[in-house]
Chain A
Amino acid sequence: MNTIIIDGLAFALPLFIIAIGGIFSERSGITNLALEGFLGFGAFIGSATVIIMTGGNLAGVELPMFFIALLFAIIGGALFAMLHALLCIPFKANQIISGVVINILAAALTAFLTSQLNSLLFGKPTNKFVLGICERFTVPGISKIPVLGAFFTDVYYYEPIIIVVALLATYLLYKSRFGLRLRACGDNPHAVDAAGINVSKIRFIAVMISGGLSGLGGICFAYSISASFNPAIYAGYGFLSIAALIFGNWKIGPTLGACLLFGFARSGGYKLAQGLGLSSSYSDIIMILPYVLTLLLLMFFSKTNHTPRALGEIYDKSKR
């Protein structure tokens, strides 16, 4: 039971922060299929920075380097997201196509740069940066409580960071003036424009925030699941978070629920397959759960689902 909660939480929180990134972009009216590319590129920048700074020898400096990786992953993701913002906003490209292309480009670019950097630094063109696993902590006392204590046991350092960032993001989206404008851009950009606010600017910033948060989620996956940066980071976490944010009706609170559900289903599925003595192949069946649930939800509750009204539309001032 405890491992289900520990592993589920470790997976759900990075997913959640990526999904919040998606919410920022989509609530501002920009369809974001590029989350996959953002998280990969952010994770690449974060891990490349660490590898360059330490020369690949992480022993003794794991923790400070981990925080540097987080910071640079956020910056890298935000900068890379500018590409999607540029294509979608001033260049008026179709947002779905732009997202697909950004994903293709991110995978190719990071694979290329990883082997280029590896051959420059170590003379070996391998396609991964070994990072190791992020350290964990256990809160003394509280962790002894049955069941509930598992939430405070073996916590990765990134988990509280994500919670803090998520709280800040929630405040920004729902309580600040910027958030109000951002949400208005997604529902009625003409009204925002009429109020004298620059729609393009708000959307551009929203997409960059989306990139930064995705980068944060990406580096957390690199530091936990794979213990390295490698092409396996493009395993569909971005699309899974899109499923989560649709499941959560483009709202942060319900999206957290969706991410926790997906995370616990995943860790529970592994545990179940293990417990029944089945091969790991059986966990594949559990993995379809998030997607099936989202589809069913859309089928039966599509009336109550509120897609941002101007989502995916190119904003044209002269149109009414």
Chain B
Amino acid sequence: MSSPQKSSDKLLTRGFVTLLGHDKYQSITTPLLAILLSLLASSLLLLVLGKSPITAFISLLQGSGLLPKASYAAKKSMFTDLLSTLNLLTPMIFAALGVAVALKAGLFNIGISGQMLVGGFFATITVGYSDLPMAVAVPLVLIVGAVCGGAVGALIGWLKHKFNINEVVSSIMLNYIFSYIISFFINTKFVNAVSRQSQYINPNARLTLADFELFGLKMDIPLGFLLTIPAAILVLFLLNKTRTGYEIKVVGLNKKAAGYAGIRVGKNVILSMIISGALAGLAGVTLYMGYYNSIQPGVLTSVGFDSIAVCLLGNAHPVGILFSSLLITIVAKGGNYMSSVLGTPKEIGQLITGLILLFAACGAYIRYRTNLAKDELRDKSADHSEGGEDL
């Protein structure tokens, strides 16, 4: 056995294991530790800058509408801020759910931003520039977005199945191909001469009721948000309660075993990419036709890349994703207000997001160390109770 440890060391290991090692709660405690560490790191950064971390975190919550600010502009309140946060939260949830479905099939969909762009662009030029009434336009936008996103997903899945092209590689290529093509069409056909972005869409087709006046407040009501929780439940149901979900998960865990068990691997790879892409398409329409109402040519949204780490932070579980998306959106949304309160550069919010995502990526290591420490403790207690074992 290893050399005798100091008792304080042992106590620390034991405390560590008690906190993190519980099998049932490990999937929650590990991300929580990652978040805690990232908040500590952010506090350290703020202290170095000579700012109070507590003021900073309170201002984050104030900026995102979870705590009241000292004063508000006319027709604005904490509630309008909160709605605006939910508006940005919507695409993040859809995108991270999309990452999760692909991940369950063992695929990394890093083409989420490309799929968002394709869904958003096609919905914009077909429905967004039409005169359809709202009752027709809004469902149509969602359908077009999901179908186009799903089609791109299907292409990536097909390339993987048919030609064995790594999905990470093909989605990077497709991201840039779509970004340039769409940029070309926006610049030549749909550009707004003033904003240098695509023309604004017809308000009837927008998934956010902008400047909606109610109770003397001017608010942006995110219609898409109403769909996020049902979507999360649907994904949960699909993965845990249906045969398709089971097959997808088996393919994700072991392709060979899945094949021998009579599961059609190719079909499930493509299917999971279609679902993933469709969710990304929904994220695209809620971003480009909800939170914004136009598309900036030549730019892939950061939501697509953030969502990969957000999904990981939420343990690729739909409920976890709801919470991790909320956290990242609070930082993104509250970041501007925080920087104005603290007088720091406005990029501080992005930096804190980056730190959270960085520690989220270490989740696997935290889990690995916990389990290692757990095994060690088990070995030790087995040594103490010699002879008392059944083996």
Contact = CB atoms under 8 A, between A and B. Distances in A.
A184 to B, nearest CB: 22
A93 B165 contact: no
A104 B306 contact: yes
A93 B172 contact: no
Contacts of A39: none
Interface residues of A, number: 49
Interface in B186-225: 187-188
B365 A284 contact: no
B163 A302 contact: yes
Interface stretch (B25-33, B276-284, B345-353): B345-353
B180 A284 contact: yes
Nearest to A246: B169
Given A94-B364, A96-B108, A242-B172, A105 B347 contact: no
Nearest to A286: B180
Interface size class of B (residues with CB under 8 A): 35 or more
A101 interface: yes
B242 to A, nearest CB: 27
Nearest to B357: A101
B168 A33 contact: yes
A256 to B, nearest CB: 20
A93 B361 contact: yes
B354 A109 contact: yes
A92 B364 contact: yes
Interface stretch (A51-59, A133-141, A293-301): A293-301
A288 B354 contact: no
Contacts of A87: 358, 361-362
B159 interface: yes
Interface of B is mostly: helix
Contacts of B170: 295, 298
Nearest to B306: A104
B187 A279 contact: yes
Contacts of A240: 176
Residue among A87, A93, A115, A242 with most chain B CB within 10 A: A93
B176 A282 contact: no
Contact of A284 (B172, B181, B350, B368): B181
Nearest to A302: B163
Given A91-B362, A94-B364, A298-B170, A101 B309 contact: yes
Interface in A106-156: 107-109, 111-112, 115-116, 119, 125, 127
Contacts of A100: 110, 305, 308-309
A111 to B, nearest CB: 4
A124 to B, nearest CB: 11
Contact of B309 (A97, A108, A279): A97
A288 B180 contact: yes
A281 interface: yes
B164 A107 contact: no
B357 A299 contact: no
Contacts of B365: 90-93
Contacts of A282: 184, 188
A243 interface: yes
B298 interface: yes
Interface in B337-372: 344-348, 350-351, 353-355, 357-358, 360-365, 368
Interface in B318-354: 344-348, 350-351, 353-354
A239 interface: yes
Contacts of B188: 279, 281-282
B5 interface: no
Nearest to A287: B180
A236 interface: yes
A200 B347 CA distance: 35
A92 B368 contact: yes
Contact of B176 (A98, A102, A125, A288): A288
A212 to B, nearest CB: 21
A97 B360 CA distance: 10
A66 to B, nearest CB: 27
Nearest to B302: A104
A33 B180 CA distance: 20
A187 B389 CA distance: 43
A197 interface: no
A112 B110 contact: no
A61 interface: no
Given A104-B306, A294-B173, A299-B159, A97 B168 contact: no
B265 interface: no
Interface of A: 31, 33, 83, 87, 90-94, 96-98, 100-105, 107-109, 111-112, 115-116, 119, 125, 127, 236, 239-240, 242-243, 246, 279, 281-282, 284-285, 287-288, 291-292, 294-295, 298-299, 302, 307
The 6 closest A-B pairs by CB, nearest first: A108-B350, A105-B354, A115-B345, A281-B187, A112-B347, A91-B365
11 contacts: A91-B364, A101-B358, A101-B360, A104-B309, A105-B351, A107-B350, A116-B49, A239-B172, A279-B188, A292-B173, A302-B163
